[in-house]
Structure 1
Amino acid sequence: MIFFKLTIGYILDLIFGDPAWLYHPIRLIGKMIAAGEKMTRRLFPKTGGGQVAAGGVMAAGVVLLSFFIPWGILWLCEKVHTGLAFVVETFWIYEILAGRCLQTEARKVMAALKKGDIKKSRKLLSYLVGRDTKQLDEGEIIKATVETVAENTTDGVIAPLIFIAIGGAPLGFAYKAINTMDSMTGYKNKQYFFFGRIPARLDDAANFIPARIAGVLMIVAAALCGYSGRGAARIFFRDRNRHLSPNSAQTESACAGALGLCLGGTHDYFGKPVVKPTIGDGEREPEPAHIQDACLLMMCTSFLAVFILNFGKFIIMN
């Protein structure tokens, strides 16, 4: 039954995207993380070790609550009526997935670039990435947008699909809690160098297998969508570990190879340069249309994931 819910939730996200009219559960998780950070920072010593422990306790609490609260609500819904539990969980799955939302925001950057509004495109990009965007030129804006679409193919779609398939919406929310904690605290700056260490490692662990699955699926998607499947495979196997993160380059490399771009490199974060390896050969100069290409690769990759999950279920049941 979970695969039927997953498929419906995926289709709803594909068509409608995030329901802007409704308070999103991930925002509640964000508030829980912020509250947990304040509480644990007060409870533990201000030493490096104390702050690592504080971050670990916060992470454990947030993940457990993010799993058991939805699980409890679904249990109560099931007691009322099976149909109610089905509707609630399917709607939650729709909210957990973020493919359409990511595509919409990326296209906004592309539209601003096509209008020649570099200032607006930088502003829109700043909502999607952690790097400083005020000094980026058009090519760097395009590459940054392509990178975030490629990387978030894992975080926003493939990993949630896999965790939902394993443990339903509750495990999907637990994964999103891990991912959100990393987004909020996984920085190597003065504030989070110690506190964010365990949340960041937890995110690395949660995404390790999904990122590699997503990278392989993106190679197949590149061939199916008329891009360079051979180039995607070549750059994937060569550059998939060329990143400060163990997971980010898995899909970035496949995307770079498929589109003939050079991604990565040194960029400023919080006013300081962070040196990162380059990914891909840069056979082509970045153009605004490459953003749309990256979005198409993401959507095709997610479609393949849903198809394989359902096909795998069919094989197991028969």
Structure 2
Amino acid sequence: MKYHILAFGAGFLLDQLFGDPYFLPHPIRGIGWLIAKTEKTLRAGNPQGNSTEREGAERRQGKLLVVIVLLFTGMLSALILFGAYAMHPGLGVVIEAVMTYQILAARCLQVESSKVWKQLNAGSLEEARKAVSMIVGRDTEHLTEEGVAKAAIETVAENTSDGVIAPMLYTALGGPVLGFLYKAVNTMDSMVGYKNEKYLHFGRAAAKLDDVMNFLPARISALLMVGTAFISGKSYNGKQAWRIWRRDNRKHASPNSAQTESVCAGALGIQLAGDASYFGKVVKKPYIGDPTRAVEPEDIRRTNRLMNRTAWICEILCLGILIAVAV
């Protein structure tokens, strides 16, 4: 347990300091490659029969994708981690810290969304659209300045749970093996969990599993973010964050995505969400929050600060619980 506590804390600090350097290979990209290759292989044998037969085949293939990706991810991460500890406890701590670092994404979120803020602040809307396209799934070619800022804010707010708090909780609970299994599910959902013609049936299993795995972490993340808003100064409104979360946390097709997004909207006093275009098709979405004021580029930085402070609070709480259990 003491090795896990040390590695867990060190991994968080590594993420805070270095983020995701482009020149280093990253295991999540490897998981993405595995998902793409497995999908291609599974779909090669799709039946040419009626729509019912195709839908059934795609659902079976989607379930098989989940099993293959989780088995490979779990076995490889366990082999690396336990192999390192078998060689030497010190090596095990180092490898576990690096694996924990690779699971978390707080610094990466901050860096990538800050690129959007920088371009908006410089008055370069086209470059801001390109920057935000790297971190969102929606179409960005025709977004206004406010639309670009909202897209970046929503991504940081939603990924406060998906990219930071949820993987942190799973890693604290089950080490990097469980952390990487969570990341594999999350990556599958981001790649095949769309409700369009191509993935409606094939991605169903991945999307449902992602909903289940994020159900509790999303709500824990929201509560932590509300608490953070209360102690983060005059730029944030804790009471309003609580009120909007209670009112709007279900205003999304996913049971989890609006949890932290609604807290952020309330804390900043802005309105998020609304209709968005995906693959050329407009998807109707309800608004989250109240338009107390217009969204501005600086709200990207405010959201990043809220996300990062929430991450620190969660890390400290996790370490406190782990130490209490160890003692």
User: 2:319 matched to 1:310?
Assistant: yes
The residue that corresponds to 2:51 in the other structure is none
Question: How far apart, in 1, do the equivalents of 2:132 and 2:93 lie?
Answer: 37
The residue that corresponds to 1:179 in the other structure is 186
TM-score (norm 2): 0.95
Question: How far apart, in 1, do the equivalents of 2:5 and 2:214 lie?
Answer: 21
Question: How far apart, in 1, do the equivalents of 2:319 and 2:183 lie?
Answer: 22
The residue that corresponds to 1:34 in the other structure is 36
For 1:96-111, what aligned pairs fall within 5 Å after superposition?
A: 96-111=103-118
1:66 aligned residue (35, 56, 73)? 73
For 1:227-266, what aligned pairs fall within 5 Å after superposition?
A: 227-266=236-275
**Structure 2 unmatched runs, 5+:** 49-53
* Superposition deviation, residue 67 in structure 1: 1.2
2:295 aligned residue (283, 286, 303)? 286
**Structure 1 unmatched runs, 5+:** none
Secondary structure at 1:142's aligned position in 2? helix
Q: Which amino acid aligns with 1:50?
A: A
2:122 aligned residue (115, 124, 137)? 115
Q: Which amino acid aligns with 1:283?
A: T
TM-score (norm 1): 0.97
Question: How far apart, in 1, do the equivalents of 2:153 and 2:80 lie?
Answer: 38
Measured against aligned partners, the alpha-carbon deviations of 1:181-212 in whole angstroms (never above 9, x if no partner) come to: 01110111111111111111111111111000
* Superposition deviation, residue 64 in structure 1: 1.7
Q: Percent identity?
A: 47
Contact 2:276 2:282 in 1 (8 A): yes
* Superposition deviation, residue 282 in structure 1: 1.2
Question: How many pairs were matched up?
Answer: 318
User: 2:87 matched to 1:80?
Assistant: yes
Q: Which amino acid aligns with 2:297?
A: P
Question: How far apart, in 1, do the equivalents of 2:107 and 2:115 lie?
Answer: 12
Question: How far apart, in 2, do the equivalents of 1:88 and 1:196 lie?
Answer: 32
Contact 1:55 1:198 in 2 (8 A): yes
* Superposition deviation, residue 114 in structure 1: 0.6
Measured against aligned partners, the alpha-carbon deviations of 1:35-76 in whole angstroms (never above 9, x if no partner) come to: 111222234546101101101111111012111111012222
The residue that corresponds to 1:24 in the other structure is 26
Question: How far apart, in 2, do the equivalents of 1:11 and 1:202 lie?
Answer: 29
The residue that corresponds to 1:225 in the other structure is 232
User: 2:158 matched to 1:151?
Assistant: yes
Question: How far apart, in 2, do the equivalents of 1:108 and 1:145 lie?
Answer: 10
Secondary structure at 2:44's aligned position in 1? helix
Question: How far apart, in 1, do the equivalents of 2:207 and 2:220 lie?
Answer: 20
Q: Which runs of 4+ in 1 moved over 6 A?
A: none
RMSD: 1.2
Question: How far apart, in 2, do the equivalents of 1:221 and 1:314 lie?
Answer: 23
Contact 2:6 2:93 in 1 (8 A): no
